[in-house]
Structure 1
Amino acid sequence: MIISRNKSTILKGLAILSVFISHYGILSQVAATGVAVFLFLSGYGLEKSTSKNGLDSFWKKRIRSVYIPYWIVTITFTILLALTSNFSLYDYIKYISIINFDSKIDPTMWYVTYLTLCYFIFYIINKHIKNNIPVAYLISPFILLLVTQPSFGSSYGVILYFPYFFFGALFARYSALIKKDIPSKAVFTLVILTILTMYFSITHVYTPTYFMSILLSTITLILLPDKLFNKGFISSKMLKIGNISYELYLIEGVMIMTINGSLMKYIHEGYIRIPIIFISTIILSLILKKIIDSSIINKIKLNIN
């Protein structure tokens, strides 16, 4: 397999870390690659699952894995904000209901709204288009772009991400045709091209070069030999981070808004604030993961089934 379970989990760990360091003002461009990798792996995993199990319990599985964690975080944060902030009821309803195209509360949650649109298109294709699914996957990115570009705020840069979910689904569909690892020379060439395009796009975001740097870096990570992800200290740590990558994403934006905002009055040095935010995010994400895997939530999952 080009993308084993270990490799997928480690890539998610690397992707969420890229988002973290970007939000902290370090190498701000790498977050775009992290988002692209997440979307690619989401499409890949969903296609693999659907090819085995069809669309049985499609939305129930999404509720368990995506929306219940989202609601735990957003409802909790909404309650806390209601005591201290002046957002409108309409803003809170949009935030919780995932109709979050331009959120005033937590802009980072746009990703769940975007992913939900991908899910809807994917579901419709697999439900109603039986004979031309690959063609539908090729067309879908442009449908997604037409829907999302006018809907999301310009700061989200959704134009950068429109192909990756369905490219991931297509890759999953045909990855079995690839019998061996990609030659090392080809991977090395991709790495060099990625570095060059990233360098030349540092000060030119939303340009063809910037888009190309995201595309090349995503392809490079996906095509790296699987053996690189099986052993070593870094791989083991990234595996742990990858296992809670979604929880980290949900918590991270909230922590930046709350801790960063409250500590600004007392701690002006970023090198102190950043570790506090990072450690707090890790701890709360582990707690959220425990809650999601708890017997209480499992009972809810059983009721859904």
Structure 2
Amino acid sequence: MSLTSRILFTPPTTIKLSPSIPPPSAFCPLKTPSLSSNSPHPSLLRFTHITKSPSSLFARVFSSFNPTATTTPPTMGDAPDAGMDAVQRRLMFEDECILVDENDRVVGHDSKYNCHLWENILKGNALHRAFSVFLFNSKHELLLQQRSATKVTFPLVWTNTCCSHPLYRESELIHEDALGVRNAAQRKLFDELGIPAEDVPVDQFSPLGRILYKAPSDGKWGEHELDYLLFIVRDVSVNPNPDEVADIKYVNQDELKELLRKADAGEEGLKLSPWFRLVVDNFLFKWWDHVEKGTLEEAADMKAIHKLT
């Protein structure tokens, strides 16, 4: 059993700000903290994990940043975690997504559980920041993953290398050059695929664009995301986490087109995630050509937010 499988869910503790703590507005807009000569190099900030303990000043400030955010899950009598294993329960209730408006401005935070309830999405209260990593090896093959059977949303579907969320923590809220999102991508590539941080330096991710989409998973769950599309070309060591990933494969362009054909024909029960299919249909193959030519910077457009359906 993995270490994460033994972690039990503990409801978050409400923490009051002391009078000495500056108001949340003092922390906006977010910038990389100033470092003294004795401070670690800024690149090490990506390994910082902000907790909710009373000893963490930043966590206390941001736990109260948006008083309207719903961070406490429903009572256990409502069985909100019915059917979840221990790992997914912890992620759904402890991880807090970054709520944004349609212009990608931060408006608050909420649990992953609340952000993915379809009823909340339909009410327009759950738009959150996300990222999708497309990792290519030196042969320009794309690494795909099949999501594990225990995933709450979209289990067993095939998708791009890694899809997840930057969390409401200091290192992943840095807006400049999408550094917060790139920090989160490095973290999740290790969590899901066991790819070491040194194999995917944050400065090697190329943010190419942003999409906004909404998609149901089933009657209870769905996605409503403002998704950063990150490309990276690296040969990496991969050791998938079975709690997150059922299978992986590298594909070239022709092999991906065959997967698309099978998914469209309903062959072999093969399904693709809706966000991956949107990227494939709108951007992927022309961006893939830039990967092969070494001209990815020509494809980047981080000013537009593409609303896709």
Normalising by structure 2, we get a TM-score of: 0.24
Which structure carries more strand by proportion?
2
Q: Which has the higher contact order (CA 8 A, sep 6+)?
A: 1
Normalising by structure 1, we get a TM-score of: 0.25
